[in-house]
Amino acid sequence: MLPSQEIGVPIPNIPHAVSVTLPTWEATVGYEEGEDWVVSKMNSGYPRFFIHSSIQLLCQHLEDKYGRSGERCMVYPSYKVAKRCREFILRHTANPNKFVVRVLRLSTPSPTTEVEKSTMIGTTFGVVFFPRSEYHLAKNYWQHSGEGISSRMGEYILKELFEKDMSPGVSLKGISKQEIQMRQIQNRSPSITASRASSVLGNGADDLNKEFDSFIEQKYGRVLDLKFATEAKAALRRRIAGKVDQSTSISPEALEKAKRGKHLSDDDVFLFPSGMASIFYAHHALLSIAETPKKSVCFGFPYVDTLNILKKFGPGVHFLGLGDDESLDKLEENLNNGLEIMALFCECPSNPLLKTPNLARIKQLAEKFDFAVVVDETVGNFINIHVLPFADMVASSLTKVFSGDSNVLAGSLILNPMSRHYNRLKAFFDKEYEDLFWAEDALWLERNSRDFVERVHKIDATSEKVVDLLLNSPLISQVYYPSVSESKKYYDQIKNEDGGYGGLVSFLFKTPLQAIKFFNAVNLHKGPSLGTNFTLACPYAILAHYQELDEIAQWGVDRNLIRMSIGLEDPDELLDVLQKSLDESR
C-alpha cells in the first residue's frame, strides 16, 4: 500500500503505532510552531512526546475519581517511578513551597483462575497528582525518562478499573472477513506491499478463510496470552545476550585492549519500557552508586533526550558535541589537569550524523581516570557492531530495528561482566531494578524480533545502494553514513565480520529549496523514529531541534538535514522512488 501523506495518520495506521505522518516540510514546521492546521490533526505521535488517547482517557478517569480541584495527573508503571517524577517536579518548579505533589499507588485485580491468567495480570502502578500549572514539568519527566506507561498498559488499566462492565475482548460483529483480513495485512507488517494485499484478496474463498483464521489466531489467540509474558521476556533477554555474545568478530587488537573473557549471561540483560528509559536508568544507577556524584560527559551530538537526561538529572554535563579526536584530546588534557567525571555517554554511531567514536581510546581513558562508559548502540545495532568490550553498560532502543514493526516501545540495558564497575552495578540492579516492561508489549516484541537478524542484513544491503545513489547525485552536497565518514576506521574496529553499516543515512542538498522540494515530493512514510521495516524520512533538525537550530549548527547539524531510515522494500523500487524525487528537486 502507498504511504499515507495525510497529516496525523499513525505509521503504521494501527492503534499502538510508534510514528506519525508529517508529510511535508511545511507541516513539520507547523507542528513545531503549534499551528492549528497541523496540531488539530495530530491524534497520535511518538509515545514519549504524544500521550496516547487511551492514557489520556485513563488520566481523566483518575482525576475525576481521586483528583482534587485544579489537579492533573500522570500514570507511571510503578510507585517508585511515580516518586521519581514527583522529585523532578519539585526540583524544577519555580514554586516549590506553594503546592503539594501527591503520589497514589493503585492496583488492578489479579487473576483467580488458570483461564483468567491468559487475559488478566495483577499490576501495581503509581499516579502523580500535581497542580495544573506544573503539567509541563510532569510532561518533561515523561519525555526525558521514558518511564511512562505504554499505551497497551494504559488500555489494560482503563479496562480493568473503569470499563470492566463492558464486554471483554474485541467484537467482530458487523465487520466482514475481507475487511478484517485487509486490516491484518496492513497491521501485521507495514513492509507488506500493495501487490501482496491485492494478491491475497484475489486468491479466492479458501485462501481468504485461511488468512482470516490466521488473523484471529495471531491477533486474539496464543500470541497475546498474558500468561506467557514471563517466557517472552526470558526469550528476549536470551536473544539479546546471545546475539551480543556471539558477535565477537572484532579485530584481535581491539579485543585484546578490551580484555574481554567471560560469557555474557542473560541475567546481565535488563528490559525497559523504552530505549530512553534504559539510558535514564544507566545514569540513575551511576548516580546511585557514586560516592560523590559528578558531572558526566556527553561525547558527540546525541539524540536530544540523552543530553536532557544528563543536564536535568544530577550534577550536570560536559557536552563535547563534535565527538571527534580533537574532542578526546581536549578531554584528556582536562582530565590530566584535574577534571573528574562520573561517566561518558556516547552513541555508536551517532544520530543523526553517523559519527563513530574512538571507543578503544575512550576505554583507555576510562581505566586511567576511573569513569564509567555507557554506549547507546541503537543505530549500529548488535548484529552489525560489538561495543560491549569497550563499555560498562550498553543501552539500546528495541523500539527500532530489533522490533521493526513500529508498534511497540522497548529498551534494553546490558551490564558488561568484565567491567570494573560490574559488581557494584550488579548489586544495585539486583536490589533496585524493577521490571516495568508491560506483559503485552513483551509478547509483541518477542514475535516482532524473531527475524531480526535477516531484516538487519537486508536493510544493510539496501542502505549501501541508497548511499551510492545519493553520493552520485549532483544535487547532494554531503552524505552522512558510517562507511563514508571520517570515523569509518573506528566503526571498522567494532564491526562484526558479517556486519554492515546500518540502515540510517542523513544527507544535505546543495540548497535549502532542493531539500524542501525533495522531501515534499518523495513517496515514502514521513515521520519520527527509525529502524522501521518501511523506509521512513524526516527533516531531522526541524523535527528534533526546531527551537535551537542556530545552536546545533556549531556541532555540524545543518537545519536542512534530511534523515532517512531504510526499510525492507524492494531495493530497485526504493531507488526508483528516490531518483524520481531527486529529479523533481532540480
The answer regarding whether domain 452-585 maps to CATH 3.30.365.10 reads no
Residue 372 in contact with residue 283, Cβ under 8 Å?
no
Residue 167's pLDDT band, with cuts at 50, 70 and 90, is very low
**pLDDT value at position 98?**
82
- 207, pLDDT greater than 50: no
Domain with CATH 3.40.640.10 in the chain: 266-450
| φ and ψ at residue 494, rounded to 5 degrees | -110, 0
What does pLDDT average to over the chain? Answer: 88
Residue 214's pLDDT band, with cuts at 50, 70 and 90, is very low
Strand partners, 272: 411
Read off the DSSP letter of residue 495. B
Q: What share of the chain is helix, strand, coil (3-state, %, to 5)?
A: 50, 15, 40
Q: What does pTM read for this prediction?
A: 0.88
Selected residue with higher pLDDT from 250 and 511: 511
- How far is the CA of 317 from the CAs of 307, 364, 388, 538, in angstroms? 8, 21, 23, 28
Residue 456's pLDDT band, with cuts at 50, 70 and 90, is very high
Fold for the domain defined by 266-450: Aspartate Aminotransferase; domain 2 (3.40.640)
Residue 243's pLDDT band, with cuts at 50, 70 and 90, is low
Where does residue 83 rank: exposed (0-12), middle (13-18), buried (19+ CB within 10 A)?
middle
Average pLDDT, stretch 41-57? Answer: 92
Instruction: Give the N- to C-terminal CA distance of the chain in Å, as an integer.
Output: 28
Residue 99's pLDDT band, with cuts at 50, 70 and 90, is confident
**Alpha-carbon dihedral 523, 529, 530, 532, rounded to 10 degrees:** -70
Closest CA to 527 of 190, 280, 141, 188: 190
Read off the DSSP letter of residue 414. E
Place of cell 529529479: 583
- 439, pLDDT greater than 70: yes
Domain with CATH 3.90.1150.10 in the chain: 452-585
Amino acid letter for position 436: L
Backbone conformation region of residue 146, classed left if phi is above 0, alpha if psi is from -120 to 50, else beta: left
- 56, pLDDT greater than 80: yes
- DSSP letters for 201-229: HTS-HHHHHHHHHHHHHHHHSGGG-GGGH
pLDDT in tens, 341-383: 999 999 999 999 999 999 999 999 999 999 999 999 999 999 9
Strand, coil or helix: what is 506? strand
